[in-house]
Amino acid sequence: MNYRQQSDTLILPVVIIAILYTIFLSLLFVKHDHDFSALVMAGDLFVDANAAPPNLSIITNSAGYDGQFYYRLALTPFTDQQTDWGITIDAPAYRQQRIVYPLLGRLLSLGNPVLLPVSLVIVNFLALCTLAWLGGKYVQAIPLHAIWGVSFALFPGFLLTLSRDTTEIVEIAFLFAAILALCQKRQFLGGILLILAVLTKETALIMSFGLLLESLFIRHRRKFQELWFPIIMPIVAYFLWQTWLKSIWDNASVTGTITGINFGLPLVGLSHFIHSLLPPPGHLQQVWLLELFCMALFILAVTYVFLQSAARQFIKASWLLFVALMFLLTQAVWVEDWAFLRVFSETYLFGMLILLEAQSTLKKWFLGVVTFSWILLAIEVLKMR
C-alpha cells in the first residue's frame, strides 16, 4: 500500500477541518475575552438586560443579529410568546420555522441556559466536521482523494455563520447527508434528512424541486415512484410546520414575509448593491467587491463544466434553481457579506459537487482559491469585524 492509499481516509479531512476551525474559534474567543455569548450578538433593541439570562452579553445601542433569536428559541424552542427571557423575537413565525438548529443547541446544553452559548457553537463546529466527513465520503466514490472533502467545509461564508450563531452550517450538513443518501439509493433516509434540512432553513426545499425535475425529465434514469418520498414529504412537512406556526402566531404569513422582503425582480437588488460599491468608499466595500468577484468566478466555472460533469441531474437542477434564487434577492440581502455569503452556501454546495465530478483542472484551482479566500476572510473577521 502506497502513501496515497494510506492517507486516503475519511479521518484526514475531518482532522484538517477540526484543526482549522479550532484555531479560528480560539482566536475569536480571545478577541471576545473568552465569552461564548458574544457570538449570540444580542442587542439591547430586542434584549432587556434586566430580564435576560445573566451570562448573556448584550451590545448597547444595537439591534444585534439573527443569532439572538436562535438563542432565544433554544431557550424555549416551541414557544408561543414573542417576548420571554427578556428577549423579543422580531418576526416569530419567520424565525421559528428554522427550528432544528436552536433545538439541537438546547438538546446539547441539556436545557441549561448557562451552557447554551457554548452548545450553539459546538453544534456548528460538529456540523463542519460532519461536512468534511461527508465530503470525503462523496469524493472517494468519484473517485478522488478524501482530502478533497475539506472543500465543502472551507466555504468562507461558514466563518460568518460560525461567528454569529446562525443556521446555515447545520442546514448544509443535512442537505449534503441527504444528497449522499440519495446517491446511495437510500430514498427514505434521504427524505428524512431533507426534511431536517428544510426545518433548519426553508430554502433547502429547493432540492425537492430539483429531484422533481429529474424525475420528470430523466424518466429513463429515475422514475417518480422511486423518488416520491424525498420529493413529496419535505414539502408536506414544510406546509404542516407552516400551518402550526400560523396557528400559534395569529395566522402570520411566513411565506408573505419572505417574499415581500427578500425577493423581488431578477438582478435588481444585486445591481443596486454593485452600484453602491463603485467606487468602493472604504475597506469593507473593497472586501465585498472581492467576494462578489469570487462568487461570479465560481458560478462561471460551474457553468463551464456543467454539461460534462457526471453529477446527478437533480444536483444540477438544484444548482440552477439556487442560482436563480440568488438573482431574485432584494437589497434586504444584498447589503453586506454577513447576509449574501450565508445565502450563497447552498449554491456553493451544489456547485462544488458539479465541479468535482467534472474532468477539469478547474477544481484544483478552485480548491486553492477557496482555501486562500477562507484564510483571508478569517483574518478579516478576527482583525476588522
User: Which of 42, 48, 49, 45 has its CA nearest to residue 74?
Assistant: 42
- Contact indicator for 39, 151 with CB cutoff of 8 Å: no
Q: What beta strand segments (E) does the chain contain?
A: 42-43, 58-59, 83-84, 87-88
- Contact indicator for 179, 367 with CB cutoff of 8 Å: no
**Confidence category of residue 384, pLDDT binned at 50, 70, 90:** confident
pLDDT in tens, 49-68: 999 999 999 999 999 999 99
pLDDT mean over 85-100: 96
pLDDT mean over 321-347: 96
Q: What beta strand segments (E) does 235-282 contain?
A: none
Measured distance CA(371)–CA(110) in Å, rounded = 35
One DSSP character per residue, 198-225 reads HTT-GGGGHHHHHHHHHHHH-TTT--HH
What pLDDT is stored for residue 252 in this prediction?
58
- Contact indicator for 98, 201 with CB cutoff of 8 Å: yes
Amino acid letter at 181?
Answer: A
**Confidence category of residue 220, pLDDT binned at 50, 70, 90:** low
What pLDDT is stored for residue 180 in this prediction?
98
pLDDT mean over 154-172: 98
Other beta carbons within 10 Å of 304: 14
What pLDDT is stored for residue 218 in this prediction?
66
The answer on pLDDT for 283 being more than 90 is yes
| Grid cell digits, residue 98 | 428554522
What pLDDT is stored for residue 6 in this prediction?
64
The answer on pLDDT for 155 being more than 70 is yes
C-alpha dist (Å) from residue 317 to 207, 212, 343 = 8, 9, 18
User: Which of 74, 38, 29 has its CA nearest to residue 56?
Assistant: 38
pLDDT in tens, 336-370: 999 999 999 999 999 999 999 999 999 999 999 99
User: Which of 357, 366, 348, 347 has its CA nearest to residue 305?
Assistant: 357
What is the domain partition of the chain in residue ranges? 3-384
pLDDT in tens, 198-211: 999 999 999 999 99
**Confidence category of residue 262, pLDDT binned at 50, 70, 90:** confident
pLDDT mean over 88-115: 96
Q: Which residue has the cell 467534472?
A: 358
What lies within 8 Å, CB to CB, of 224 at 6+ separation is 215, 216, 231
Please list, residue by residue across 116-127, b when 16 or more beta carbons sit within 10 angstroms of its beta carbon and e when fewer do. bbbbbbbbbbbb
- Contact indicator for 169, 158 with CB cutoff of 8 Å: yes
What pLDDT is stored for residue 258 in this prediction?
58
